Amino acid sequence: MDMQTAEQRIDELKRLLTQYGYEYYVLDKPSVPDAEYDRLMQELLALEEQFPHLKTADSPSQRIGGAALELFEKVEHRTPMLSLANAFNEQDLRDFDRRIRKAVGDDFSYVCELKIDGLAVSLRYEDGLFVQGATRGDGIIGEDITSNLKTIKSIPLRLSEEVSIEVRGEAFMPKLSFVALNERRKERGEEQFANPRNAAAGSLRQLDPKIAASRKLDVFLYGIGNPEAVGVVSHSEGLDYLDRLGFKTNHERRKCATIEEVMEFIKEKTEQRHQLAYDIDGIVIKVDSLHQQAILGTTVKSPRWAIAYKFPAEEVVTTLLNIELSVGRTGVITPTAVLEPVRVAGTTVQRASLHNEDLIREKDIKIGDKVVIKKAGDIIPEVVNVLVDQRTGMEVDFYMPTHCPECESELVRLEGEVALRCINPKCPAQIREGLIHFVSRDAMNIEGLGEKVISQLFAENLITDVADIYKLTREQLLALERMGEKSVSKLLAAIEASKSNSLEKLLFGLGIRHVGAKAAKTLAQEFGTMEKLAAASKEELIAINEIGNKMADSIVSFFEQEEARELIEELRNAGVNMEYKGPKPISASESDSIFAGKTIVLTGKLEHLTRNEAKEKIEALGGNVAGSVSKKTHLVIAGEDAGSKLTKAQELGIEVWDEERLLEELKK
């Protein structure tokens, strides 16, 4: 590869890995399986080794992890939480072993542990009491999720000894908890989690600890931030010490004298992994002696004395029996492979998404083909490739239809899109999916109106649009299967309560194309009423921060439709609120508040307000609430147990208030 080609490919890899890393670590919504991310990272590392002068400080290869979110207070780890280098095969393991022997000689041993597929956390104890828990974040700065971690029953609130210690572990969602959670979300019409790792991360980033408590998370502790401080001399001794303190560690671990014993352990656990009550995605191998760990040291991003062996994705062969089509809420037609049932990664797989026609053509998929199947991230089934040499001549080409499989309207492919789309607003499938979206948690949040009930009501012709939900009667609901007096009363109460939702909930529920939950709130805050938003021009819309041309066009088009205007009038007549009820942010120039135009940081525990309530009140008065203290910070509000942010504010000479002063100023 020449220099110019290498530079172009490195730039492309950096862009992709940065995007995928952001989706994985910050948004908790990975768009590619781990195996694809790992493959791209290995390619980048190889190119940077071949062309070292092209390696830059902003390369994903130099990163430890993702940035902390602004939703929680940031926490600085006393000892950095480094990520681990990866091994993908026997040769990688032998290379690792060779480097260890070269540095410390032959007199050493390894400890092998299961690599739990969850969210890395750090727990801090003072005199035996649990005082703070945080995510790994970028390895240096994490997020304070103490309240959520306290809901995990396997985390002790008091240790068996009055010791001050920082420990590390992996919070995870057991398989049974994951299945139960997705069942509940499906019934409520909510988006299901792709895998237990995402579910655990999403649960621990909930602002309401009750939600985390309801999801039955668990944790395994695997290390001590500063083990020498508590007198242990090896990693295995540290794990035993954690057991004695009352922590839950994973006992599926083994001390190994040679790399051959390590590989035997890997083979054994690979075969057993699907029988475990939780997901693992590999095996972690560490040099046991802390003295030898110190000799080996660390790189910028990972310790030299440890490595993570990643399981290859299990692939199996089956027959593609048919391709079925489904119609989504926005009219997108999605093809799905119907497979001869086959066991993959511990479960029976019968279906796999084919995404769109372009993918089917690219992989040359025909009905009747022998295909290789794997689970992306060990969860989502996908067709890897076709075994062309096993074709018999009886296979049949698949062609996407020209008309909608539900309403028979002509399908279109919009400019710049790969998907075929039904644009008939009266398409039954779109209406049904739109109804499910309307009642979901982030929209009107009507508990009890899950996908099954919506489908039942739709099939019985009791609802044909969202306004019909507010016309349902007790008699109609009691006539449905599995609907008793108690559940009907609860459902009717939930429907009635939803009428008083703030405008942004209704806007999001209406499913206006390109308008997500965040944009809906921005629009509601800006215009205040449905009437004013409906009358807004494209120019007025794009003048708002975060509203672009595409979204503005979509909003204008929506309100130009006679059907949309009639629907909104029906909802209004049913008593559904059409006004924004939350605090409306004002600019610094419009406010005479002491907070106007100032950057303010909240730290510690507030007694009378939640962190979010304080943030909303300050921002409503023209202030800007930031997550970290810097020279640009004007004011710090310090509650109880304020930590490093308060210290930094004092060092920089920044004004500090207590909660009492904050409340006084908010009353003015």
Give me the pLDDT at residue 382, please: 86
Overall average pLDDT of the 547-566 stretch: 90
Planar angle of CA 19, 22, 26, nearest 5 degrees: 165
Give me the pLDDT at residue 167, please: 96
Residue burial 177-206, b: 16+ Cβ < 10 Å; e: rest: bbeebbeebeebbbeebbbbbbbbbbbbbb
pLDDT at residue 240 tops 90: yes
Give me the pLDDT at residue 341, please: 92
Confidence of residue 64 (pLDDT cuts 50, 70, 90): very low
Q: What is the DSSP letter of 25?
A: I
pLDDT at residue 77 tops 60: yes
Give me the pLDDT at residue 251, please: 92
Task: Give 7: exposed, middle or buried? Use CB within 10 Å, 0-12, 13-18, 19+.
Answer: middle
Q: Is 396 left (phi over 0), alpha (psi -120 to 50) or beta?
A: beta
pLDDT at residue 65 tops 50: no
Better pLDDT: 160 or 290 = 290
pLDDT at residue 69 tops 50: no
**655-657 and 635-638 beta bridge pairing:** parallel
Query: What superfamily would CATH give domain 315-412?
Result: Nucleic acid-binding proteins (2.40.50.140)
| Cα of 386 vs its chain's centroid, Å | 31
**What confidence tens digit (pLDDT) does each residue in 569-620 have?**
999 999 999 999 886 665 545 567 888 888 899 988 788 887 778 887 887 7
CA distance 583 to 395: 61
Overall average pLDDT of the 103-119 stretch: 95
**What confidence tens digit (pLDDT) does each residue in 495-522 have?**
999 999 999 999 999 989 888 887 898 8
Q: In percent, how much of the chain has pLDDT > 70?
A: 93
* Given 115, 310, 366, 617, the catalytic residue: 115
Q: Take residue 266 and report the two structure tokens written for it.
A: 């890997």
333: phi then psi, degrees, rounded to nearest 5:
-95, 120
Does 3-62 match 315-412 in CATH topology? no
What is the topology classification, in CATH, of domain 3-62?
A: Helix Hairpins (1.10.287)
Distances (CA, A) of 203 to 213, 378, 493: 9, 20, 27
Confidence of residue 416 (pLDDT cuts 50, 70, 90): confident
pLDDT at residue 68 tops 60: no
pLDDT at residue 93 tops 90: yes
Locate tokens 């070269």: which residue? 102
Locate tokens 């001390």: which residue? 255
Give me the pLDDT at residue 282, please: 94
pLDDT at residue 66 tops 50: no
**Residue 102 catalytic?**
no
Confidence of residue 552 (pLDDT cuts 50, 70, 90): very high
Selection from 36, 32, 25 nearest residue 63 by Cα: 25
Query: What superfamily would CATH give domain 74-310?
Result: DNA ligase/mRNA capping enzyme (3.30.470.30)
CA distance 447 to 453: 11
Longest CA pairwise span in the chain (Å): 81
CB 329, CB 430: distance < 8 Å: yes
Q: Which amino acid is at 502?
A: S
Planar angle of CA 573, 579, 580, nearest 5 degrees: 155
Type and span of the H or E element at 187 = helix 175-187
Q: Take residue 649 and report the two structure tokens written for it.
A: 């504010």
CA distance 149 to 130: 10
CA distance 230 to 341: 53
Better pLDDT: 312 or 401 = 401
CA distance 360 to 349: 19
pLDDT at residue 482 tops 60: yes
Cβ neighbours of residue 344 closer than 8 Å, sequence gap 6 or more:
314, 316, 373, 374, 375, 381
Give me the pLDDT at residue 306, please: 97
CA distance 140 to 579: 43
Q: Take residue 392 and report the two structure tokens written for it.
A: 């018999």
Give me the pLDDT at residue 590, please: 57
**What confidence tens digit (pLDDT) does each residue in 537-548 have?**
999 998 886 688
CB 369, CB 395: distance < 8 Å: yes
Q: Take residue 234 and report the two structure tokens written for it.
A: 């090896």
What is the topology classification, in CATH, of domain 588-667?
A: Rossmann fold (3.40.50)
Average pLDDT score over the chain: 87
CA distance 461 to 454: 11
**What confidence tens digit (pLDDT) does each residue in 335-393 have?**
999 999 998 876 788 999 888 888 899 999 999 999 999 876 556 788 989 999 999 99
Confidence of residue 101 (pLDDT cuts 50, 70, 90): very high
pLDDT at residue 188 tops 70: no
Whether pTM > 0.75 for this model: the answer is: no
Q: In percent, how much of the chain has pLDDT > 90?
A: 43
Cβ neighbours of residue 92 closer than 8 Å, sequence gap 6 or more:
86, 307, 309
Better pLDDT: 446 or 36 = 446
Planar angle of CA 453, 454, 455, nearest 5 degrees: 90
- The beta-strand segments (E) located in 288-376 are 306-310, 315-327, 333-344, 347-353, 366-367, 370-376
What is the residue extent of each domain of the chain?
A: 3-62, 74-310, 315-412, 428-573, 588-667
Q: What is the gyration radius of the CA atoms in the chain, in angstroms?
A: 28
pLDDT at residue 311 tops 80: yes
Give me the pLDDT at residue 536, please: 94
The lowest-confidence range among 16-20, 105-109, 360-364, 555-559 is 16-20
Q: Is 22 helix (H, G, I), strand (E, B) or coil?
A: helix
| Cα of 109 vs its chain's centroid, Å | 37
What is the topology classification, in CATH, of domain 428-573?
A: DNA polymerase; domain 1 (1.10.150)
